[in-house]
Each structure stands twice: as C-alpha cells, then as structure tokens.
Amino acid sequence: MTNATAELPPPPSFYREPLSVGSVALASRFNLAPLAGYTNLPFRLSVRELGGVGLCTTDLINARAIVDGIQKTMLLLAHDHAERPLFVQIFGSKAHEMAGAAKWLVENRIADGIDINMGCPVRKVVKTGGGSSLMCDTTGATVGLVSQVVEAVRPVPVSVKMRLGWDDDNLSAPYFAREFEKAGVAALTIHGRTREQGFAGGVNHEGIRRVVEAVEKIPVFGNGDVRSVQDAARMITETGCHGIAIGRGALANPWVFRQFDAWVRTGDPGPRATYAERLAFMRLHLKRLVDWRGSERNGCVHFRKVATWYTKALRFPKKVQQRLVMLSTLAEFEELIAPFSGGHAPDGWTEYDAQQAHIAVPAGPIAHW
C-alpha cells in the first residue's frame, strides 16, 4: 500500500541537497536519536539495513565509566562497520573526564564523532551535574567543557544534543547554540521541550526555530514527536531545521527513515511495512540481542524490555504478551509467534497499529525520575 501523494505535503527541496556533520557526510537528513537502553548495536544495525538513516548514535554512556574501562560500559560500545558513520553519546559534568573519554573513543576507532548529552532529564544523570543540568550554567563552565571535548578530538566532529532549557523561564538553548558554534561544535540536535516538561506537553517548534536562527552555518536537527510524514513536514516548515532526529518514533516504526528519505526524493514515502516484515524484524532484533549479550538467556532478558511495544504493534493476544515479557529461550519465542508466522495479520489489524504503539516514558513528578 502506498500513501496517496495528494494527501501528503510536498517535501522541502533543500532536503535533497547533501548534508555533513563536520567531515562526516550523511546519507540522508534523518538520524537515529540516542535512547538509553534501546539504541544499542542490535537495534542500530537492524535499522541501518532497512535504509534511509543518515547517522546513528549510541545510548548515552557515562564518560567516567569509559575512562575507567568498566566492562558493562564496554558492552554498550559494541559496534559494527556496517553501521558507520557512528557517533558515541557521552554524558558527565567534569571536563577532563569528558575530554578523556572522547579522545579514547576516537583513538580506538569506535566513534566517527562524539555527541555530548545535555538533554537527559533523568534524576540520576542530572543530580551529578550532567544531562539537562549543564544547560543551567551560562557562566562559562558548560561552554568550557564542550570546548575541551572539541579540542581533544579535533578534527573529528563533536555534536551536542540538548533541550530548550531547564524550564520556560530559562530557555538557554539559543545562547548555547551560538557559543558552541564559536567553540567548534559541528552540529546540534534540539529536543523541543524543557527539562521541567519531561516528555509531557507538545514540542515547542518556535523554540527550535530560535536555535536554528542563533547559528550561522552548522546544522540543527529538530527532535520530538515526529512519527509521520505530516509530522516531519510540520517540523521542517515551522522550525527551519536542517534535519530531523527520530527516537521513540523509530522504535515503533523502524522503517520511518526509509519512508522519510523516499518522501524527500520522490514525494511518496512508499509502502509501509507488512505484518510479515514486522515479524521478521522482531525475530532479527531478538537474535542479534542474543549474539550481543553472549547467551540465549541474557539476550532474551534484554528483549523483554522491548517485547511490550512489539506485541502492541502486532496486536498479539494478551497471553502471548505476558509470556514474551518473561521470555527465556529462542525456542519459546518461535513457539509463541508460530500462529502468526504465515504473515497473516489478525482481523482488523492495519499498519496504523504500529504507529499507536508508543514507547513508554517516565511518569509522575519529574524530580523523582
């Protein structure tokens, strides 16, 4: 099934022009945004193979843990040549640790670029002075930290992902955008919410536009609530962003990059993924998780985290969902999906079911996240 082009907004012509982040050329203007616990090697590699991705970035990774060589952190740094270019996202509050981690990643040829996390709103990151809390310091310390990272890895590009600010009274993103460009940062990704918002409320397109207007040359990628061509067109029109970073929308629909890229090039995003293709992608994801974690049980345990949104997207019965979230073996997985493996979707299922399978985000008072 192909979207009727009459129902779609026309793609922006400038999105067909080549775009680079520093010396790194992108295949498209649609990037996979980093998501802690999700954008690991198995998922990144599987998405890459579907096509249309401009740039992939790892989970956020503690800079100090990289410097200290923590084994669990090394697992998060697993990578594959087929997913290049790859940026590694680091977080922390100490300039020497951030610069040291970035230098180690480049020297060991793990990263084609470094992304600095200034957007994470979660308390365990913020309380250490990392993530969104870096946006509170406009005295020079945050800019100094970013400058040290840039100098440590030059000429390898450094990007920054941040929110609009801590709250509506402190929208510091335009200020930092100007200062970071002066410091040599190669690109910015802006999530259009404040830290105080968490994931609540709508994305502030006007806030993203102010960041786009604050820089002179470097690309700014808009981020937040982009799940459809209509969402992408609105983000581009209302913000002027040079590209789009997609996080949760890619988890629910890994084909989104291929669809957006096709829309830009032809005006038509092409067919949506079939039920059989979605089943095949889930199976591939699980098998790669097993390979990545080094054992069948560990891979299945990691799969439990993503099982719920797969079952929602595929409209599995509740009893199947309950067993998948406690999965222990590949044989059990094959047994559970066998009734659906003919590729015949359940009665009433449409490709829009996948779009409704939104990824759960933290709830309750943000101070308790």
Q: Which residues belong to the active site?
A: 120
β-strands 24-26, 19-21 pairing: antiparallel
26 within 8 A of 54, measured Cβ to Cβ: yes
Q: Give the SS3 label for residue 89.
A: strand
Measured distance CA(138)–CA(124) in Å, rounded: 22
Measured distance CA(188)–CA(159) in Å, rounded: 6
Measured distance CA(139)–CA(153) in Å, rounded: 24
Residue 153 phi, psi dihedral angles, 5° rounding = -120, 0
Nearest Cα to 81, choosing from 58, 54, 112? 112
CA 8, 9, 12, 15 dihedral sign is negative
Q: What count of Cα atoms within 13 Å lies in the side-chain half-sphere of residue 179?
A: 17
Going from the C-alpha of 57 to that of each of 120, 139, 169, 343, the distances in angstroms are 15, 29, 30, 32
Q: Give the SS3 label for residue 220.
A: strand
